[in-house]
Amino acid sequence: MTAPLSLALGALAAALLSAVAALAADERPMLFRALVSPLFGLACALLLAAGLGGLLHPGVARATLPLGLPWLHWHLRLDALAAFFLALIGVVGLAVALYAPGYAREFEKRESLAVLGLFTGLFLTSMVLVVLADDAFAFMVAWELMSLASYFLVTFQHEHGANRRAGFLYLLMAEIGALAILLGFGVLAGLGDGFAFDAMRRAAVGGGWGTLAFVLAFFGFGMKAGLVPLHAWLPEAHPVAPSHVSALMSGVMLKVAVYGFIRFCFDLLGDMQISWGVAVLVVGAVSALLGVLYALMQHDLKRLLAYHSVENVGIIFIGLGLAMVFAGAGFPALAALGLVAALYHTINHALFKGLLFLGAGSVLHATHQRDMERMGGLLKLLPWTGLFFLVGCISISALPPFNGFVSEWLTFQAALQAWALENGILRSLIPVTAAMLALTGALAAACFVKVYGVTFLGQPRSTPARKAHEVSFGMRAGQGVLAAACLLLGVLPTFFTGLLDTVPGLLLGQHLPQATAGGWLWLTPVNAHTASYSAPLVFAALALAWWLAAWALRRGAVRQVRRCDAWDCGFSPLTPRMQYSATGFAQPIRRVFGPLFRIEESMSRDEEGLLRHRLQVHDRLWEWLYLPVGRAALRAGRWVGHLQGGNARIYLGWTLATLGALLWLIS
């Protein structure tokens, strides 16, 4: 493991050099393309190599950096869990490095490339340090650096009020979550007599202290991951950041929060409690369902993708909750299955959500529009972007042969083992969460039928959509890397499951002995008699069906469709206004789940006399939880403001009262 750790340290150096080199990018924009992005890409390639090396040759490697406090240097550790997340950061970051130079061209004259490159490099550095940290001090410093760097990226285009508001909300919630994480580490450090993770592992954490530490960690990491109801910052921050930064935030930063939760609960806390797993399972299921429902109501493309991050993080936590329940109940093999399912969906979501955000960035770059209602017909103008975006839509909808199907199928297989539990309540609760997951999958498929149909098919709905053009080769290459990875993880799940199996071996002391028992052709998570899936055969069958259809069309065995104008009932020719809109597509689902939202609908006529339908869907959780807290804070601020009224008598009165209180306390 020494070589992978050396590669990871080299990646840190390259990321820092990328950040430093970006300081001169404002005067010389070519420097951003010729040096900053290549250094960023080199760092990500080294991370990918380090992660794969750590998974192929599992072990533990340690290093100490002469940083931090005089009596506490930074301790770094690379094990199988850290290696998995380094590989995840590397593969998404490599695609972003290919994509960023072309996307950043539009910022050259209007925004600061130095700021963009500096904080993107620091963002990557901080995420790697979080994954490698082996003591609470180094972890929290890196965590805070990650939050601050991403804050400056969210507010990169700070001239817009919405960006400043989103950045403030994000930073505020990030700091609240960081405080909870710090307190959780404080509980473990107090019981373990040290800030080093090794000391925390040796601590006897149990009873109320263990539950308190779990609650603090679940709150802190859950807020950064975007679990409901702590998700309010996510649909605000992700849409306003540059699209390649959105890919890093949604595809990678949320997974760093998942890493922190796994490290804290599975590695540092020790003995697992069933009640902890139940809490994680329920919150994950609710997050998955509400996330996809909120996404269905959106017509802002990037905001819709942000809500889908809430959904997929919920699916990851369903797998983690199952692993915790089975571990607490004494079924380590089933716990390993739940953990592998969660990890597989973690890498899958990083890939297809990164791909979708890069695709959304290409659409935004070509049309300067985020509103799907003003798009349409883009497949003819952006064929490569349309193809790669379609791969992302199929993957996130959990359809074979792409990767999303494998991880959700593994999650279902873990949930179906609930019969092994003796507790009747759990044996009823887990199937309910599995049913919620099934409903989530169906709604996700419906949502991305809407997204792809409204955005890429039909006729253009606006002049910018009609004038759209394909993006540069580098932007297409970044999307192509992630699209190929989605297909690869979907077609060869046995290979990647074998790699991931090293993580439960480290954390649970248990592997999946039957997962690859059928060889590379069959994935058998429990055993071959219970369930099996052959992704290569499914891919081969689909490829053969496509080839036969193409061959039949070429040979004339299938009657060619005669192209002509569509029947318009004898009225005027079809116009883009006659197409299905994103709002209309989601209307039936909105009617069914309407009580979950506060919906405002109105009709008006525009300057051309055309009737326009206006729909606003508001998050009730925002109104129930966050607005009351905000109003209370404003009232408290106004009350405290009276202390600074500018009246000398008020100041003297408070001084006298303070002196009296101090004298009373001292005496």
Spatial separation of the C-alpha atoms in residues 156 and 576, rounded to whole Å: 35
Tokens of 645: 């009224």
> What H or E segment, with its residue span, contains residue 615?
strand 611-619
SS3 72: strand
Indicate left, alpha or beta for 533 from its phi (over 0: left) and psi (-120 to 50: alpha).
beta
pLDDT at 604 over 80: no
What digits encode the pLDDT tens for the residues 190-243?
888 788 898 888 887 777 888 999 999 999 999 999 999 888 888 888 888 999
> What H or E segment, with its residue span, contains residue 190?
helix 161-192
pLDDT at 665 over 90: no
For every residue of 433-466, DSSP letters joined together read: HHHHHHHHHHHHHHHHHHHHHHHHSS---SHHHH
What digits encode the pLDDT tens for the residues 93-144?
999 999 999 998 888 778 889 899 999 999 999 999 999 999 999 999 999 9
Spatial separation of the C-alpha atoms in residues 244 and 104, rounded to whole Å: 9
Which residue shows structure tokens 């099934």? 438
Q: Residue 440: what pLDDT?
A: 94
With DSSP H G I counted as helix, E B as strand and the rest as coil, what are the percentages for the chain, rounded to 5?
Answer: 75, 5, 20
- Which is more confident, 574 or 436? 436
Tokens of 349: 């979501």
**First-to-last CA distance in the chain?**
62
Helix axes 113-132, 136-154, angle to 10 degrees: 150
The total number of residues shown for the chain amounts to 667
Spatial separation of the C-alpha atoms in residues 631 and 166, rounded to whole Å: 18
* CA dihedral for 310, 332, 535, 479, sign (positive or negative): positive
Spatial separation of the C-alpha atoms in residues 635 and 630, rounded to whole Å: 9
What digits encode the pLDDT tens for the residues 434-474?
999 999 999 999 999 999 999 998 888 888 888 888 899 99
- Among 374, 366, 371, which residue's Cα sits nearest to residue 467? 366
| CA triple 538-541-547, angle to 5 deg | 140
Burial of 24 (0-12, 13-18, 19+ CB in 10 A): middle
* CA dihedral for 379, 381, 382, 384, sign (positive or negative): positive
pLDDT at 575 over 90: no
For every residue of 554-575, DSSP letters joined together read: HHT-SPPPPP-PPP-TTSSPP-
Tokens of 39: 């250094």
Q: pLDDT band at residue 606, thresholds of 50, 70 and 90?
A: low
- Among 460, 302, 457, which residue's Cα sits nearest to residue 374? 460
pLDDT at 608 over 80: no
Question: Which residue stretches of 133-273 are H helix?
Answer: 136-154, 161-192, 197-202, 207-225, 234-240, 243-248, 254-262
Spatial separation of the C-alpha atoms in residues 392 and 250, rounded to whole Å: 14
**Percent of the chain predicted with pLDDT > 70:** 95
Tokens of 162: 């919405």
Spatial separation of the C-alpha atoms in residues 284 and 311, rounded to whole Å: 8
SS3 331: coil
**How do strand 72-78 and strand 611-619 relate by DSSP bridges?**
unpaired
Which residue shows structure tokens 């802002």? 300
- Compute the radius of gyration of the chain from its Cα atoms: 26
What digits encode the pLDDT tens for the residues 383-395?
999 999 999 999 9
Cα–chain-centroid distance for residue 607? 41
- Among 87, 33, 26, 90, which residue's Cα sits nearest to residue 55? 87
Helix axes 274-296, 301-328, angle to 10 degrees: 160
- Which is more confident, 107 or 410? 410
Q: pLDDT band at residue 488, thresholds of 50, 70 and 90?
A: very high
Residue type, 395: S
Q: Residue 609: what pLDDT?
A: 67
* Mean pLDDT for all residues in the chain: 88
Question: Phi, psi at residue 150, to the nearest 5°?
Answer: -70, -30
- Which is more confident, 292 or 613? 292
Burial of 431 (0-12, 13-18, 19+ CB in 10 A): middle
Question: Which residue stretches of 457-534 are H helix?
Answer: 463-466, 473-491, 493-500, 502-507
**How do strand 72-78 and strand 597-605 relate by DSSP bridges?**
unpaired
For every residue of 467-478, DSSP letters joined together read: T-----HHHHHH
Tokens of 299: 């017509």
Question: Phi, psi at residue 75, to the nearest 5°?
Answer: -100, 130
**Percent of the chain predicted with pLDDT > 90:** 50
Q: pTM for the full model? A: 0.92
Helix axes 493-500, 332-367, angle to 10 degrees: 120
Tokens of 60: 């533990």
Q: pLDDT band at residue 559, thresholds of 50, 70 and 90?
A: low
Indicate left, alpha or beta for 609 from its phi (over 0: left) and psi (-120 to 50: alpha).
left
Question: Which range among 79-93, 157-171, 387-401 shows the weakest confidence by mean pLDDT?
Answer: 157-171
- Among 178, 114, 184, 192, which residue's Cα sits nearest to residue 145? 178
Query: Average pLDDT for residues 87-93, to the nearest whole number?
Result: 96
Q: Residue 96: what pLDDT?
A: 95
Spatial separation of the C-alpha atoms in residues 264 and 507, rounded to whole Å: 11
- Which is more confident, 551 or 353? 353
Residue type, 239: P
CB 406 within 8 A of CB 486: no
